[in-house]
Amino acid sequence: MSQAGTLILIMSIAVLAPLLAYGISRRLPVPLVIFEILLGILAGPDVLGWAGDGPVIDTLSDLGLAMLIFLAGYEIEFDRVRGATLKRSLWAWLTALVVGLALASTLTGLSKGVYIGTALTSTALGTVLPVLRDAGDLHSRFGSVMTTFGAVGEFGPIIAIALLLSGRSPGRSTAVLAAFALLTAAAVWWAMRPRPPWFPRVIARTLHSSGQFAVRLVVLLLAVMLGISQALGLDTLLGAFAAGMLTRLLLHGAAPESAGPVLEKVEAMGFGFLVPVFYVVTGMEFDLDALLSGGRALLLLPVFLLLFLLVRGLPVYALAPPDLVRRDRRALTLFASTALPLVVAITTIGVDDGVLKTEEAAALVGAAMLSVLLFPLAGLRLRGERRTVEEPLGGTESW
């Protein structure tokens, strides 16, 4: 199939997926991403063989992943991601990294263990946040804690990719990462500077016209941060995450009254086009034959699924803020153990580097797909038992 035909197929799946999710949600609230991936697998070469590939589709998929990470970075509310909860989330992720690298290296060897262990520490914040938003739980106390733990679970593996999977020496990787941090700090300083009076006026006046100044500025910021990370030899996901944080600082500082409408437009571009392309292509490129051929790959899938809970989940449960009741700690564990986008990115790097076999990558991605299907559903059920009076945003936790 031509690339144009494949794009039509992808967008047809993107339209069909929310219809299926809506129809089933009355009985079972299955995350939309599951339908996008499963339909992608169905249309892919291992089932119906309808999908083609090519540079245009690959580029759109890469942009979809970048947009997903960008939106995850934008969702971080800096006035809520701080204090004791941030410290706990950092320690939980560092513990997961040490345990993940040790376990994965013991099971698969040091070279593979670095890739697998890093993947086991990730949290699919960009996947979890829409689930919490749809459930009306994003701005609760639980949503605030989940955002903090999820942000570290999204940002931490990106840093680990830059340090451990870049192919450079640790010293050089640290220097490059420090250079990126300095450039990002300069960008933060620029974003937080007072803007001239015309800036919010131009945003407001072009918000509903063909000018769309704010949306174009957001895309420019994303492109610049992606370009900086690529120029430094870092994974572009790091640039996408930083661009999301910068955009939030800029819009909420200079034009807070327009920040909401601007985000709605960016989300429409992301969740309406680019992000579905990424998830559908993930399904199309999933090596189903390698997984279903039996043997080691199929056995690894439940092992990896369990490891997501053990490696990522247990430290989160142990270090969750003490003001959360037990069922909320369990729900936090499940949501934090949900992984997919970074798992896809890390396994792709591993296969391209010739370290991971395709069947191992398929087992790890398959386990991540199951985590997206099972863990948020279980977490929502636990949260469904919560008190009808919502928890306050503040807390009395202490480190």
Of the pLDDT bands very low, low, confident and very high (cuts 50, 70, 90), residue 396 is very low
Give the pLDDT of residue 280.
Answer: 92
Within 10 A of 356 (CB to CB), how many other CB atoms are there? 24
For 85-108, how does the pLDDT look when each residue is reduced to its tens digit (9 = 90+)? 889 999 999 999 999 999 999 988
Give the pLDDT of residue 395.
Answer: 43
Q: Is the pTM of this model over 0.85?
A: no
Give the pLDDT of residue 318.
Answer: 94
Percent of the chain predicted with pLDDT > 70: 93
Give the pLDDT of residue 81.
Answer: 63
User: Are 291 and 349 a contacting pair, CB within 8 Å?
Assistant: no
Domains of the chain: 3-384 (1.20.1530.20)
Alpha helices in 75-119 (DSSP H): 83-108, 110-119
Element (H, E) at 384: helix 358-384
Alpha helices in 44-82 (DSSP H): 55-74
Give the pLDDT of residue 82.
Answer: 67
Average confidence (pLDDT) over 21-35: 80
For 166-215, how does the pLDDT look when each residue is reduced to its tens digit (9 = 90+)? 666 667 778 888 888 888 888 888 877 888 889 889 999 998 889 899 99
Q: Pseudo-torsion of CA 305, 310, 312, 314, nearest 10°?
A: 140
Give the pLDDT of residue 166.
Answer: 67
Average confidence (pLDDT) over 239-251: 89
Lowest mean pLDDT among 58-62, 140-144, 276-280, 368-372: 140-144
- Is 90 exceeded by the pLDDT of residue 9? yes
Position with higher pLDDT, 177 vs 364: 364
For 58-75, how does the pLDDT look when each residue is reduced to its tens digit (9 = 90+)? 899 989 989 988 988 887
Within 10 A of 264 (CB to CB), how many other CB atoms are there? 10
Position with higher pLDDT, 243 vs 387: 243
User: Are 33 and 279 a contacting pair, CB within 8 Å?
Assistant: yes
For 108-161, how does the pLDDT look when each residue is reduced to its tens digit (9 = 90+)? 888 889 999 999 999 988 778 777 877 777 778 888 889 889 888 988 888 888
User: Are 233 and 244 a contacting pair, CB within 8 Å?
Assistant: no
Give the pLDDT of residue 389.
Answer: 37
Give the pLDDT of residue 78.
Answer: 66
Query: Tokens for 180?
Result: 């990126």
Query: Tokens for 105?
Result: 């290296």
Average confidence (pLDDT) over 344-368: 88
Lowest mean pLDDT among 152-156, 240-244, 344-348, 395-399: 395-399
